[in-house]
Structure 1
Amino acid sequence: MAARTHWLFGDQLGPRFTDPRHGGCDRGAPLLMIEARSVLRRRRFHRAKAHLVLSAMRHRAAELGDRVRYVRADTYRQGLRTALRSGDRLTVHAPTSRAALDFVTSLDGVDVLEPRGFLTSRADFATWAEGRGAQGLRMEDFYRWVRTSQGLLMDDGGPAGGTWNLDHDNREPPPRDHDRLPVPRPWQAKEDAIDEEVRHDLDRWERKGLVSFAGRDGPRRFPATRRQALAALRHFVDHRLPAFGSYEDAMLARDGVLAHSLLSSSLNLGLLDPAECVGRAELAWRSGNAPLNSAEGYIRQVAGWREFVWQLYWHFGPAYRDRNALGHHEPLPRWFLDLDADAVRARCLSTTLAQVRDTGWTHHIPRLMVLGSRALQDGWDPAAVTDWFHRCFVDGYDWVMLPNVLGMSQYADDGAMTSKPYTTGGAYIHRMSDLCDGCAYRPSDRTGDRACPYTTGYWAFLHRHRERFAHHPRMARTLHTLDRLDDLADVLAAAARRGAAPP
């Protein structure tokens, strides 16, 4: 029997997706890749994201040579009609979005294989989730289960070092005497002829009005090949992981990357496998080249949060994306949609928005506590906020952003994913960054000309949802403080006056 053609999606670019072992594709299967322009028309993606995905796909096709047929088409259906003859059968590993999975399962002659690129299976997660009962689904419990079942950072049946969670060591503010963290800079990509071709095509499509992008074009910053991704992983583990843990929540105006790995896009494109990432981090600790808090912090991000988000995306079902527990319906303002950092006076938001505009990336704390917090405080529609994150980040995919943004950031699922809303006043940003230095606003002021929009917005948000959180166990103390504010009327008036204007 002839081997079935195996279809590779644009986030299935590593060797695991062509490995015939353990339920993979047929041995020696011819390969198919489809570059569908309709994907770029569907949303106004960040230019850097469009470039990275197309560059990675075309680089992979070049590596595979004659084994792959690379079809450039308007849609996936058109690409399939071009590539296949009547009666041909296809295999494909399950795509990472619900829409794409529905599409491939609707096609005749397509055999959908188990998904790859994750540490845990959906069946194993379902078994774990069924046993949670009243405890609910919390990442910390899931993370410990993954560590135990995978043998990650474990000694004698317990957590290495005697504790599961080293978050208390990983919340240091940035060093006050540095405007950059004193670590080697991240691995840097070098563009080639394929990148030049991609840039030419994107420019041409945009000139013709076929597509429209957000953000700025610039040198590709992230790996587009397996070889580059492995080099970036080695560089991170050898030179940056030791400093990662302590400062993983810190922010610096002139150093948006600090000691972060910048490997999320490589993982989400399938260029790296999570097992090799966490394995190398653990080995660095065991060999004495990285402290335990750094190794644990990175492993928590990959084996904890990334896996948890992937599983919740499927577990919560298709109706999850329509959740809007707080009743937020305000449209995203134009300055935010256009990444217009120059229109913003608040230094934390302007700096973060500029980094997204210029690179298509910023780390998890600016995403959550600057961008997401602004949206939550101002009552922006959570579906629109989720779509914005999906479009504007190089590592953004439906499965990534739906639980992370709609659930954790915007609390639209009423606590199904996380135990409380993640928003604060300016004091948190001031403590964890240098972003308040030289700002037009004061983090301690909630009224007046220099009132911090995050501080004003925080109290206005709590007042707006006072009844919902009145009996919330983690919000009682905060609401008690709200009740003691003698200038609450002025705070609410200030928030109303600003409206949707850039802060």
Structure 2
Amino acid sequence: MRKGQQREMARWRWLLADQLGPHFLDDDAQRVLLVESRTLFAARPVHRQKAHLILSALRHRAAELGDRARLVRADTFRTALTDLGEPAEVVHPSSRAALAFARTVDGLAVLPPRGFVTDRADFAAWADTRRGRLRMADFYRYARDRHDVLRDLPAPAGRSRRRPPTDVPPPPPIVEDDIDAAVRRDLDRWQAEGIRFVGRDAPRRYPATHAEAQARLAHFLDHRLSAYADSEGVLSDADGLLAHSVLSSSFNLGLLDPEPAIRAAERAGRAGTAPAAAVHRFVRGLFGWREFLWQLYWYFDPRFRGADWLAATRPLPEWFDRLDADAVEARCLADVLAGVRDTGWAHQTARLTVLANYGLQRGWRAAELADWFRRSFVDGTDWVMNATVIGMSQYADLARIDTRPWAFDGGHLDRIGDHCGGCRYEPKQVLGDDACPYTGGFEAFLHRNRERLAGDPRLAADLAARTDPQRRDAVLAQEEKRADEAP
């Protein structure tokens, strides 16, 4: 073996907190550096359960690796790397800030990304031919063809809406251990010393090890995938999980590699244990949206040029920032916000149509809302939230991600969910004390942004029906008064 090869093998592999699965290592002899930095949790308040999950995952990985791993508790990553005193390498980080930092550390080599199927150079070559019009559906067709995914399992034509099942087996529970107990003690001490968290503490709900994540994935494929398509676009006040996999934090911590999960779903479709619609929906989310968002994060300039395009200048109100669901009377918002407070998670329909939609209607600053999602969700990351919140839900990137803003009134929420029946607000009412905040908010959003949205054919009817100046002034005055209050 040449000296250069020996030198490369001798390097420490620094595993970041979102690189904790086996696919981030090359062999069973590699030395591993893991770093805990309390400073990261002191910078901005994150959800208590997210902090617990990150620390638990780091410590469980160190325990799994045994003598091969060195777990360092340091004020900063730079301190930990300097004290290491030996050459090290790191897999391409998942944020621009982390990558920029890694490139400033002497002796730290940056390896290509892992945990995604599509190569960045391949995506760039495809995107360069699109003349700025990048759509997930187009990328998904390209990627499926390039990687031979679902070629022999045709997608069903159209979608038949069915009531989502109520008897879906719950995922296997997480059993906490001594590592979790130590994490909880440390977080309690940090809080007593002044580090602030949001949300409530609770027994750990999400996998912190590859084995736990694999067990959750296997259970989903065997027991929940078959009903997955029936949960699309549905809100329920009875079951916040429906048939969702709840595996996003496991993929984003690097505990699961997406390609084996995609192939396993394909096998379920071929074997007939899951309908084609469910398999396609799962694969579209994992291999379509997830890959697309990751690639967009690196392909585009980091600034969103249209960040203030939809008159979004209000700061997030305090009740929303601190997850104060008890202050909210609108049932859908109270239910979803309470779920975030208590679990650090909500499914995508709830995120887009209830949480992000509410912020869009009120003109909250898109960057602040994206930061809130990053901090409040156990699966929150820069590369996901930049695109889905700033670009998609808040329509702040001049239609790079989607072709229309994700704005919906109370009537839409009534059609897809079951919260409106017991709510004090009327979903069809625009003005008055009983007016649904989503219905009045939607109309105020249209009035504030009429000129900007005039070219959208899908909003043309909504805009044409709302031209009465007296009604416009009344709606704007009402929603201005309501803007910062919990609804």
Q: Same fold (TM over 0.5)?
A: yes
Preserved contact between residue 446 and residue 452 of structure 1 (Cα < 8 Å): yes
Letter paired with 2:159: H
Q: Secondary structure at the match of 2:134?
A: coil
In the TM superposition, residue 414 of structure 1 has moved relative to its aligned partner by 1.8
1: distance between equivalents of 2:266 and 2:461? 39
Aligned-residue identity in percent: 51
Aligned length, in residue pairs:
480
Structure 1 residue ranges (4+ consecutive) displaced by more than 6 angstroms after TM superposition: none
- Cα distance in 2 between the residues matched to 1:234 and 1:499: 45
Query: Could you tell me which amino acid in structure 1 is paired with residue 100 of structure 2?
Result: D
Aligned residues of 1:37 and 1:73 also touching (Cα < 8 A): yes
Deviation at 1:232, TM superposition (A): 0.1
1:387-466 to structure 2, matched below 5 A, reads 387-466=371-450
Name the CA shift for 1:485/1:287 in 2 (closer, same or farther; >3 Å). farther
The alignment partner of 1:111 has SS state of strand
Query: Is structure 2 residue 230 aligned with structure 1 residue 223?
Result: no
Following superposition, the deviation at residue 485 of structure 1 comes to 8.9
Q: How does 1:89-128 map to 2 (within 5 A)?
A: 89-128=87-126
Which of 250, 255, 275 is equivalent to 1:266? 250
Counterpart position of 1:351: 335
Structure 1 counterpart of 2:315: 331
What secondary structure does 2:93 align onto? coil
Report the 3-state secondary structure (helix = DSSP H, G, I; strand = E; otherwise coil) of the residue aligned with 2:72: strand
Which structure 1 residue ranges, 5 or more long, are not aligned? Answer: 21-26, 176-180
Please give the per-residue CA displacement for 1:176-210, whole angstroms capped at 9, x wherever unaligned.
Answer: xxxxx22111222111110000000000011011x
Distance 1:352 1:90 in 2: 43
Cα contact 1:184–1:239 (8 A) shared by 2: yes
CA separation in 2, counterparts of 1:189 and 1:305?
28
What one-letter code is carried by the residue in structure 1 that aligns with 2:277? Answer: N
Q: Does 1:141 align with 2:138?
A: yes
The structural deviation recorded for 1:478 is 2.3
- Write the distance in 1 (CA, Å) between the matches of 2:420 and 2:286: 30
**In structure 2, distance between residues paired with 1:146 and 1:360:** 31
CA separation of 1:321 and 1:359: change in aligned 2, threshold 3 A: farther
- TM-score of the two chains, using structure 2 as the length reference: 0.95
The structure 2 residue matched to 1:194, chosen from 179, 184, 197, is 179
2:11 equivalent to 1:14:
no
Unaligned runs of 5+ in 2: 1-5
Identify the match of residue 168 of structure 1 among 159, 167, 180: 159
Q: Does 1:4 align with 2:5?
A: no
> Does structure 2 retain, via aligned residues, the 8 Å contact 1:403–1:417?
yes
Q: Please give the residue correspondences for 1:252-291 in structure 2 after superposition, counting only pairs within 5 Å.
A: 252-291=236-275
Deviations 1:320-373 (A, max 9, x none): 388332231111111001100010000000000000000000000110010001
Q: d(CA) in 1 for partners of 2:59 and 2:305?
A: 32
Contact 1:91/1:113 (CA < 8 Å) preserved in 2? yes
Cα 1:221–1:32 change in 2 (3 A) is same
Distance 1:206 1:333 in 2: 23
1:30 correspondence with 2:31: yes
How far apart are residue 449 of structure 1 and its match? Answer: 1.9
Counterparts of 2:242 and 2:233, CA distance in 1: 10
- Aligned alpha-carbon RMSD (Å): 1.6
Structure-2 separation of matches of 1:122 and 1:473: 34
State the distance in 1 between where 2:305 and 2:273 align.
42
> Are 1:499 and 2:483 matched, yes or no?
yes
Q: Determine if contact 1:172/1:250 at 8 Å carries over to the other structure.
A: no
Whole-Å Cα distance in 2 between the matches of residues 364 and 257 of structure 1? 11
* Structure 2 CA distance for partners of 1:7 and 1:260, relative to 1, 3 Å: same
Q: 1:202 to 1:243 in 2, by over 3 A?
A: same
Residue 142 of structure 1 aligns with an amino acid whose one-letter code is F
TM-score normalized with structure 1 length: 0.92
Residues of 1 paired with 2:159 and 2:431: CA distance?
33
The corresponding residue for 2:3 is none
Distance 1:62 1:167, change over 3 A: farther
Query: How far is 1:481 from its partner?
Result: 2.2
